[in-house]
Structure 1
Amino acid sequence: MSETAVPQGANPSLPSAHGNRIWQPVLFRSMATLLFGIITVFFGSPDTLGLCLNFGWYFLVLAASHYWVVRRLVLPRGDTRRLALLGGAALLAVAGVVIFIAISAALAAWLGAVALALMGAAELFAARASDRSQLRSDWLISGVLGLGTGVLLPFFSGAGPHALLGVAGGGALMSGALWLLSSLTLRHDARQPKGT
């Protein structure tokens, strides 16, 4: 069966040419998120530098994975889901760079909170606007986790780097497990024959 362009309706699901490959960026996101969560578990006594370096790389890789997912979804340029998800990814990237450079626990807590909360809100918006997307239910759960982590982070800003990494890492472990299951499901669905 040849891969040809499929006309998209007003609310497209994954196009056939790209739908078979959406599991790859989702798997990448899950691996990066789980790695960050595992690092936070085993990082015994992090200082401010350790906190900022870990937040920095995590936000940058998370932003890249969101960008990759949006590219694979092939959403139209004016699509509000595309704009929301790319806006959230851009904020994550900027937050990662600023936190990496500034080396401040308070800034990491507040800027990380804003970036995670807005990315969570963008995922919730994308889920609400997507009634046929294969990622809808995953966006709903991940959006709630991101929003919850973002809301909690400022409350732990005075507790030190270990507490901040613990809160962010807990959300990352739950989100990473969700996206790992999602990527395996998407990969399994992509391997199924079209007629079944």
Structure 2
Amino acid sequence: MTSTPMAQLWQPVLFRSMVTLLFGIITVFFGAPDTLGLCLNFGWYFLVLAGSHYWFVRRLALPRGDTKHLALLGAAALQAVAGVVIFISVNTVLAAWLGGAALLLMGAAELFAALTSARSQLRSDWLISGVLGLGTGLLLPFFINAGPHALLGVSGGGALMTGALWLLSALTLRHDVRTPKRK
């Protein structure tokens, strides 16, 4: 294996994809969630997702003052705060608005990272994930009146698409860092 920074990115990317896919699968099979089920699921998801973003940004090894570093970590911090507040509050309206804001900000941070990283291997993944995060974050508050099941459905649909994207990205990163076989 090579010792480039990209060689160490596949692990946090894979972890993020697994967390995101797990959340998406839970939302598919959660038959009749109530407000408590919504808030518990949003809470753990945002907390673990924030941790995975932190791990990922640490592995990127960006300088502390770099704007990508600040944008990605700031969005991860908001996700962590949103996870705690939603977990404690057990309120559908707050879960929709705060969850939407957390997803929206992370999507914006990923779009910013993509647009400021012309040569990064992750540029296209950040673009797609950013658009999915923005879309999910914008849509979430419009489904408040439809209840917890609809909120989990919207966020779970976005999570399944994002999780599949990051799973492919992790496998690609893992494949690309392997040393070529000798002929």
Structure 2 stretches lacking a partner, 5+ long: none
* C-alpha separation in 1, matches of 2:29 and 2:139: 21
Partner residue of 1:48 out of 17, 21, 35: 35
Q: Give 1:2 shift.
A: 8.4
Match of 2:170 in 1: 183
Partner residue of 1:74 out of 50, 58, 61: 61
CA deviations over 1:6-48 (Å, ceiling 9, x no partner): xxxxxxxxxx1x3211000000000000000000000000000
* C-alpha separation in 1, matches of 2:82 and 2:174: 31
* C-alpha separation in 2, matches of 1:136 and 1:2: 21
* C-alpha separation in 2, matches of 1:149 and 1:44: 21
Match of 1:57 in 2: 44
* C-alpha separation in 2, matches of 1:165 and 1:2: 41
DSSP 3-state at the match of 2:8 = coil
Structure 1 stretches lacking a partner, 5+ long: 4-15
Root mean square deviation of aligned Cα: 1.5
The question of 1:157 aligning with 2:144 is answered: yes
Match of 1:148 in 2: 135
Match of 2:106 in 1: 119
* Structure 1 residue ranges, 4+ long, deviating more than 4 angstroms after superposition: none
* C-alpha separation in 2, matches of 1:19 and 1:193: 16
* C-alpha separation in 2, matches of 1:187 and 1:108: 35
Match of 2:6 in 1: 19
Q: Say how many residue pairs are matched.
A: 182
CA contact (8 A) 2:2 2:177 kept: no
Percent of pairs with identical residues: 80
* C-alpha separation in 1, matches of 2:121 and 2:86: 33
Match of 2:73 in 1: 86
* C-alpha separation in 2, matches of 1:54 and 1:83: 27
